[in-house]
Amino acid sequence: MTKGFSLWLLLAALLALGLRTVQLDSRPMHNDEAVNAIKFRNLWDGAGYRYDPVEFHGPTLAYSTLVWEKLTLAGNFARFSEARLRSLTALFGVGLVLLLFLVSDGLGPKATLAAALLTAVSPVMVYYSRDYIHETLFVFFSFLALASGWRYCQTAKIAWILLTGAAFGLMQATKETFIFNIAAVMGALLLNEWLRPPAPATPLDKKLFNPAHLAAAALVWLAVAALLFSSFFSNPAGLLDAARTYLIWFQRVKGASPHIHEWSFYWERLLFFHRAGGPIWSEALILLLAVGAGIAAFGRRQLPGASRPLVRFILLYTVILAAIYTALPYKTPWSALGFWHGAILLAGVGASALTAGLMGRRLKIAAGIILATGAAQLAVQAWQSAINSRYSADPRNPWVYSQTLPNLLELTAKVDAVAAASPDDRHLPISVIAPDSDYWPLPWYLRRYNAAGFFENVPGFSKFLPAEIQDVDAFVKKVRANSDPVSKFLLESGLTNNLDAAHPANGGPAYLESILVTNLNRIITGPSIYDSNRFQQVHLHPETGELLRQNPRGQDLIRLNRWLLEDAYPAELGADHLPAEPYPPLTILSARLEPDVDPDKAGIMTGLYELRPGVWLELYVQSNLWSTYLQHRAK
């Protein structure tokens, strides 16, 4: 390769670096980024890493971050920034450009440079290189496997196939979807061999793929994967989990997920995406050029400087991978990166073939200008989607998915301001309460608060939860016996309504439990159930008697009703008589839980904030702290 080639490749890498690292904190942390960050905190703080086969993908992100943060002499995790974490994935995104050097003799120099430019500016590649998630690492390791495999085919040196083995191990330890890449590689190799015209074997061919090389590569693959999944042998169960995860993900892929989308999900985003009030987004140029490369790969025309088998392999690999992802019902937009990177490599070849195939210098220059303009337009789109704060978290952007809205930063800024006014500052107790733990990325933004707690229910929440009933059958039996005034009251109040629907065919005991709890909660959230005649035979717990004397309302009344029932059926319902937990000075609450809030105790509701489209949080501050904050602000 010439000096000029290396220089142009370096320039493309610099362009990629610029687009991937400018204003890395321009959009709020995504749910998944924050989860990855907080999981990494355990590793950084010395608590180790443990692979979870259910969710959150593989260990390479955490360990790569560890290496990167050690190299860059990062300090206390509380001082980490979004930009610091995202810079890791950004560098892997730049690495995708530099890796092209390894396949430049297979794609041809012009095609390699065109692919480098398109990798640098592709909006989807830029967007997710700036996200602290696994995807860019995964694509990097996939390309490393392909590129080192190509080098092995060119040299038959064992080092290259060992690197291929290591890359496969890293892929496996990054994302469970690596099995799709393996399927695509195998399919492409077989089809490519089948399509290849017969030719006498060269001396190099005879050296390739000897069993010792293959066995060594397989060993390296397994060793790398085992090392990472077992957390460097500190968690042997990780090895089993690495296999068990596929059973779990298989269920998810079959449809038990909120991320089920129709076949066109990726293609709409890649080729033509428009939402009312937003611009039109399209990377169709890349697909057009890739199609051109595909036609050239199977046509008679020469591919300038390119290896036809390699181009055909990339084409087949990309088509198979794209078909798999298109057919799978489970889709998240970042999953497009794998096959789209293949398309970008082909687009480089397509661009080179197009300019080479044109007759005459003027036509070639015109084609070059058109392609350069197209690439510039992609760069502008990349800027708009990934960097420009107007669209980087806006649902009108094709790559914004379950993204945290900037409004959340106003909430965290308010929390910081209120805490700064408090003498407790970073020790201020904060409760974040949301059903289904839907409060991410707040654990990231509240990482400096050592007294922040995360809960599912409001303080003083007293409704029954299904698992809290000690003995469902005995309770139903006792009530149905109708032998005491409380049971009579419960029957008249409809406690046993719909219970007969809980036939085993309809879900059996769990269904029965849920109906019973629904009915119970309907009763205890109504008016006071206390009546002196009704509870004459019931021995009331001292705590119940005390609460009764207070003539409570709101959540306290619900608790009183519950305690009364617990006193009447202590063996069946259990009786713990826990006092209501107090509200902390500052509460961040899901708006879904507002009906459960006791406004007298929660404090002043100081604002509503949108976490994600349609998901709202309320900020409550105790009145004394709010007054302190206002006085502090007035100064």
Partner 1 sequence: MNAILKNHRCRRLPLCLILCLAWLSASSSSRAEDLVPLPITNGPPVFIGTPPNNKPDPNIDVNTNRPHFPAPAGVTNVALHKKVTSSVTNAAPEDLAKITDGEKNSSDEDNVVILHRGVQWVQIDLGSTQEIFAIVVWHAYDKIKVYHDVVVQVADGPDFTAAQNVRTLFNNDVENKASLGIGTNREYFETNEGKLVDAKGAKARYVRLYSNGSTGGTFNEYTEVEVYGRPAK
Strand 586-590 and strand 430-433: the pairing is parallel
- For partner 1, the closer of residues 494 and 613 by Cβ is 613
As measured in angstroms, the least distance from the Cβ of 401 to partner 1 is 5
CB 172 within 8 A of CB 58: yes
Q: DSSP string spanning 193-210?
A: HHHSPP-PPPHHHHHTT-
The interaxial angle of helices 623-634 and 407-421, nearest 10 deg, is 90
As measured in angstroms, the least distance from the Cβ of 407 to partner 1 is 5
- For partner 1, the closer of residues 438 and 543 by Cβ is 438
CB 70 within 8 A of CB 250: no
Q: Residue 493: what residue type?
A: S
As measured in angstroms, the least distance from the Cβ of 396 to partner 1 is 12
Output the CA torsion sign for 350, 352, 355, 356: negative
Q: Which residue has the tokens 């994302």?
A: 175
- For partner 1, the closer of residues 92 and 629 by Cβ is 629
- For partner 1, the closer of residues 141 and 583 by Cβ is 583
As measured in angstroms, the least distance from the Cβ of 577 to partner 1 is 11
As measured in angstroms, the least distance from the Cβ of 610 to partner 1 is 5
As measured in angstroms, the least distance from the Cβ of 582 to partner 1 is 5
Q: State how far the Cα of 79 lies from the Cα of 384, in Å rounded to an integer.
A: 29
Q: Which residue has the tokens 């998901």?
A: 615
- For partner 1, the closer of residues 368 and 406 by Cβ is 406
As measured in angstroms, the least distance from the Cβ of 251 to partner 1 is 13
As measured in angstroms, the least distance from the Cβ of 428 to partner 1 is 7
- For partner 1, the closer of residues 128 and 143 by Cβ is 128
Residue 3: how many CB atoms within 10 A of its CB?
7
Q: State how far the Cα of 391 lies from the Cα of 409, in Å rounded to an integer.
A: 16
- For partner 1, the closer of residues 6 and 627 by Cβ is 627
Helix (H) or strand (E) segment spanning residue 86 = helix 82-98
Q: Residue 78: what residue type?
A: A
- For partner 1, the closer of residues 289 and 428 by Cβ is 428
Q: Which residue has the tokens 């032998």?
A: 483
As measured in angstroms, the least distance from the Cβ of 593 to partner 1 is 8
Can you read off the two tokens belonging to residue 359?
Answer: 């007759």
Residue 423, exposed/middle/buried by CB under 10 A (0-12, 13-18, 19+)?
A: exposed
- For partner 1, the closer of residues 25 and 456 by Cβ is 456
Q: DSSP string spanning 319-356?
A: HHHHHHHHH-SB--GGGGHHHHHHHHHHHHHHHHHHHH
